[in-house]
Structures are given as C-alpha cells and as structure tokens.
Structure 1
Amino acid sequence: MKKIGVLTSGGDSPGMNAAIRAVVRKGIFHGLEVYGIYNGYSGLISGKIQKLELGSVGDIIHRGGTMLYTARCEEFKTIEGQKKGIEQLKKFGIEGLVVIGGNGSYMGAKKLTEHGYPCVGVPGTIDNDIPGTDYTIGFDTALNTVIQAIDKIRDTATSHERTYVIEVMGRDAGDIALWSGLAGGAETILIPEADFKIEEIIDRLKRGHERGKKHSIIIVAEGVGSGVEIGQKIKEMTNFETRVSVLGHIQRGGSPTAFDRVLASRLGAYAVELLLNGKGGRCVGIQNNQLVDHDILEILDQPHTVDKSMYKLSKELSI
C-alpha cells in the first residue's frame, strides 16, 4: 500500500483534527502518500481530494471541528453513489481509507471494504455511542462543556431559587446526560436507556422543597423528549419557578481536551497501522486504556449501552 485517504463524516466532534493529523503524519512517517477527502462521502463522490503534506496538518491539533469539513450524504447509501466514490479512489490511486465518524460513517466504510477498498473506522462523535470502545473522540470535550454550563446555571438557580431543566445532546444515547449529571450534581437525570415517570420527578422535587431545598437541576437527554415540554409540566405540577436551557450545538465545538487530543492521536495512528498490515473492514477503539480493533459489521450489529451502575449511583447521591 502506497496511498491512503482520510475523511471525516457525520456530525463534527472536537478531536477530529488531532485524528486527521495523526493519520497524515503516521502515514508519511511510513512512506505513504496521504490524501484528504473533503466534505465526507459527498466530497468522495465529487472528487474533492487533495494530497496532504506534513505542513497541511500543522497547527490543527488544538482546533475543534474538522479541517476536512463534513457532510451527510444520502447518495452514498446507494450502489450508484458508492461506485462514483470508487471511481474517484481509482483515479487518485488510493488503496485504503481511514474514516473518522460515527455509525453512519462506519456503514460507508464497510461498503467500500466490500467493494475492495480496505477501510478502518475511527470513532469520532460526542455521543460516545459506538460499541467496542470505552470512549469516542469528542465525548470528553463535550462533557466538560456541559459541566461548565451546569456549574454556571446552578449559580443562577441558587440565586433565584429556581428549578432548571437543561437539555443536552444524545438522541439515542444518554452518556452525555449521565456523565454530566453525575459530575454536576444534578437532582434528576433523564436518559433514553431508562424509563421515567414525571410523577417520580415531581415527588423528588417536592421532597427536596419540604426539607428546605430551594433549587434543583434536571438534566434531559434530547432523545427522552423536549426539555421545554418537561419544564412546562414540572411548573404546572409543582408551581415552582422553572426555567429551561437547551445547550444545543455549543456542545460540539471548542478546543479539544488533552484527553481527546491524546485519544485521537492514538486511534488515528493505529488505524494507519492496520491498513499497513493489510487489514480492512475494521474499526479501532480503546478499552481499559488499550488500543483494540473490531470487525465493523460486528460493531454495527451491537446495541449501545450505558453504565447502569452509574445511573443507579446518580439516584442514590441525589436523594
């Protein structure tokens, strides 16, 4: 193998640039030519491909987002779209590909591998919802962004004696809500992986109020429902002064933490090692601080799970 490509796909996450840098420099170190594919699979189809040098990835390790840009591409889900992408890979002589992204990105990598182009997936998503790895690139940064917001909102909640509902990202996964809620001392955490009853939340708020508690923080993963609607129900059922904050896309941005920079560097470099060893259709991860790789198809078939012991602990500590 003499030429490899790298692309980022799906939602951006802090640390993607560090992973791109690792892929490029690890590849060049081993004598490979490395090509950046811009705008994800959409850019692959249209041929937005450029050779990257050492200097191309200088001064990016600390930057959020992705220098290669990203886009969702419905066309690549079709056989015709995949064939167009393969034509571009042939045109540039690219023999292997590193794909940085989430589940949808992995599916594209799997399809290309089936067409004869070895691909390795690198988990880049703030949701931490990729099986086969303890952490995904961007999760730690997003988590710290949310915690900072919780701390600031708590100051206001305390000053005004209010209940605050904070909606965080996590359509299908509750990791951001669970971790930030536990770290931020939230009284209630709502995640997609666990059922809840609004009556239980109300009872907990009232019990706290009766013992003199003047403010509360409730963390809601977006996959559970609208934070605004939940906040309205709480206000109607308790008559407590209630406010809602939807953190939104602020969670995806910002300079990556040291943890995410190191994680991205390790995973990006490991992906190149797999390609050099002739391994495709794999995805990399970290488990118990050790680099691992799995078959992409097997990972895509596995459901995401959260640590239920952490969820149980959050309830015990917010009694």
Structure 2
Amino acid sequence: MKKIALLTSGGDSPGMNAAIRAVVRKAIYHDIEVFGVKNGFAGLIEDDIQKMSLGDVGDIIHRGGTILYTARCEEFKEVEGQQQAISNLKARGIEGLIVIGGDGSLRGAQKLENMGFPVAGIPGTIDNDVAGTDFTIGFDTALNTVVQAVDKVRDTATSHDRTYVIEVMGRESGDLALWAGVAAGAETIIVPESSYNMQDIIDRLNRGRDRGKRHSIIIIAEGAGTAPEMARLLKEKMNIETRMTVLGHIQRGGSPTAFDRVLASRLGGSAVEQLLEGISGQMEGILNNELARTSFSYVFSGNHRFNDMMYKLSQELSI
C-alpha cells in the first residue's frame, strides 16, 4: 500500500488533530503518501482531497477541532454517493482510507468497506458511546471541561444557597454525566441508561438541607431530560430556588488533555499499521490500556457498556 487517505466526520472532538498528526507522520515514516479529505464524506464525493506533508500537521497536536473540518452529507447515504467516493479515491491511486469519528462516521466507513474498499476506523466522540473501546478520543477533554464548569457553578450555588441543575451532552449515553458527577461530587446524576425516581431526588435534597447543606448540584444528560424541566419540577414540588445551566457545545471545544493526545496518537498509529497489514473493517480502540481492534459489526452491536457499578457508587456517595 503506497497511498492512503483520512477524514474526520460527525461532531468534532478534542484530539482529532492529534490523530490526524499521528496518521500522517506514521504513514510518511513508512514511505506512504497521505491525502487529507476535507469536510468528511462530502469531501470524498466532491473530490476535495489534498496530499499532506509533515508541515501540514506541525503544531496541531494541542489544537481542538479538526483541521480537515467535518460536515454532514446526505448524498453519501445513497449507493451512488458511495460509489462516487470510491471512484475519486481510486482515481488518485489511493488504496486505503482511515475514518475518524463516532458511530455514524464508522457506519459510513463500513459501507465503503462492504463495497470492497479497505477502511480502518478510529473512534472520536465526546459521548464515549462506542462499543469495543474503553475510551473514545475527546471524552476525557470534555469530561474535564464539564468538571471545571461544575466546580465554578458550585461556588455560586454555595454563596446563594441554591440548587443548580446542569445539563450535559449525551443523547443516548450517560458516560459524560456519570463521570463528571462522580468527579465533581454531584448530589444527583440522571442518565438515559437508568430511570430515576423524582421522590428519591427530593428526599436526598431534603436530607442535605436538614443537616445544613447550603447547595446541591444535579447533573442531567440531555438524553434523560432537560435542565429547564428538572428545575421546574423542583420548584413546583419543593418550592426551592433553583437555577439551571446548559453547557452545550462548550463541551466539544478546547485544547485536548494529555490523555486524549496520547490516546489519539496511539490509535492513529495503529490504524496505519492495520492498513499496512492488509486488514480492513476494524476499529482501533483501547481496552484495559492495551490497543485492541474490533470489527465494525461488533461496534454497531450496541454492546457499549454503561458502568452500573460506578453509577451505584455515585448514589451511595451522595447520601
């Protein structure tokens, strides 16, 4: 294999640039030409593909976002779009593709692989909701962003004797809410993976107030409800003053943590090795701090496991 390409797709996540850097440098080290595809799968169809050099990835390891950009592409969902993408790659003599992104991006990669084009996947999403890996690129950075925000909110919550409801990202996965809640000492964590009892939340808040607690923090994943609705329920049922904060896309930005930079570098390097070894249709991941490859079919099996033990611990610590 003498020529490969890479793209980033779906929502951006901190550490994508570190993965891009690793792919380009690893490939060039092995005398492979590398091509960057702009704007994800849309760039494949539009033939927005450019050769990359070592200079193109200089000083990007610390930058958030993605220098290759990302965009949604309805045209790629059709067979004709997929065929056009492969045609453009082959016209340049490109023999393999590396896709960096979340579940939807990896599904796009699988479509190309099913059509006979070699593809390797790298999980990049702050939701940490991909099966076959303990952590996805960007999760740790987003987690630290959330924890820092909660710490700041706690200061004003204490000063004003208020209960704050903080909404974080996670439509189908509560990992970000769970890990942030444990790290920040939240009194209540609400996630899509587990139903909650409103009376339990009220009882917990009342126990804290009875022993003189001046504030409370509730973290809710967007897939489990909204901060405005939870704040309204608390006001209605407890007659307490509440405030709510929706962190939104601030969670996606910022310089990646050391963990995400190292993770991205390891996965990027291994993805190049996968193609060199003649392997296709595998996602690079990390399991028990060791590199691991998982077939796309398993990735989409829905076997990403929510940490029930940690969730139970969070409830025990918030008595």
> TM > 0.5 between the two?
yes
- For 2:231 and 2:262, the matched residues in 1 are separated by 38
Partner residue in 2 for 1:49: 49
Shift of 1:129: 0.5
Residue 279 (structure 1) aligned with residue 243 (structure 2) = no
Partner residue in 1 for 2:111: 111
Matches within 5 A, 1:87-236: 87-236=87-236
- For 1:178 and 1:229, the matched residues in 2 are separated by 20
- For 2:118 and 2:300, the matched residues in 1 are separated by 17
- For 1:74 and 1:303, the matched residues in 2 are separated by 27
- For 1:226 and 1:303, the matched residues in 2 are separated by 26
Shift of 1:5: 0.3
Residue 292 (structure 1) aligned with residue 292 (structure 2) = yes
- For 1:125 and 1:189, the matched residues in 2 are separated by 21
Shift of 1:226: 1.1
Matches within 5 A, 1:62-77: 62-77=62-77
What's the CA shift string for 1:174-228, capped at 9, x where partnerless? 0000000000000000000001022211121112112211210000000001111
- For 1:205 and 1:81, the matched residues in 2 are separated by 54
- Tell me the SS of whatever aligns to 1:293: strand
Q: Tell me, yes or no, if the aligned pair for 1:173 and 1:304 is still in contact at 8 Å.
A: no
Q: Tell me, yes or no, if the aligned pair for 2:132 and 2:304 is still in contact at 8 Å.
A: no
Shift of 1:273: 0.1
Structure 1 303/74 Cα, relative in aligned 2: closer, same or farther at 3 Å? farther
Residue 264 (structure 1) aligned with residue 232 (structure 2) = no
* Identical pairs, percent: 66
| Matched letter for residue 95 of structure 2 | E
Shift of 1:34: 0.3
- Tell me the SS of whatever aligns to 1:223: helix
Shift of 1:304: 2.5
Residue 37 (structure 1) aligned with residue 37 (structure 2) = yes
Partner residue in 1 for 2:247: 247
Coordinate RMSD, CA, aligned = 0.7
Partner residue in 2 for 1:19: 19
| Matched letter for residue 216 of structure 1 | S
Q: Tell me, yes or no, if the aligned pair for 1:164 and 1:245 is still in contact at 8 Å.
A: yes
Pick which of 284-293 and 74-83 moved more.
74-83
Q: Name stretches of at least 5 consecutive residues in structure 1 with no aligned partner.
A: none
Partner residue in 2 for 1:238: 238
Q: Name stretches of at least 5 consecutive residues in structure 2 with no aligned partner.
A: none
Q: Tell me, yes or no, if the aligned pair for 2:166 and 2:227 is still in contact at 8 Å.
A: yes
Shift of 1:305: 2.1
Shift of 1:87: 1.4
Q: Tell me, yes or no, if the aligned pair for 1:7 and 1:68 is still in contact at 8 Å.
A: yes
- For 1:114 and 1:236, the matched residues in 2 are separated by 54
**4+ residue segments displaced more than 6 Å:** none
Pick which of 298-307 and 126-135 moved more.
298-307
| Matched letter for residue 139 of structure 2 | F
- Tell me the SS of whatever aligns to 1:126: coil
Pick which of 246-255 and 68-77 moved more.
68-77
Shift of 1:26: 0.2
Q: Tell me, yes or no, if the aligned pair for 2:15 and 2:138 is still in contact at 8 Å.
A: yes
Q: Tell me, yes or no, if the aligned pair for 1:193 and 1:305 is still in contact at 8 Å.
A: no
What's the CA shift string for 1:63-92, capped at 9, x where partnerless? 000000001212211111101111111121
Shift of 1:94: 1.0
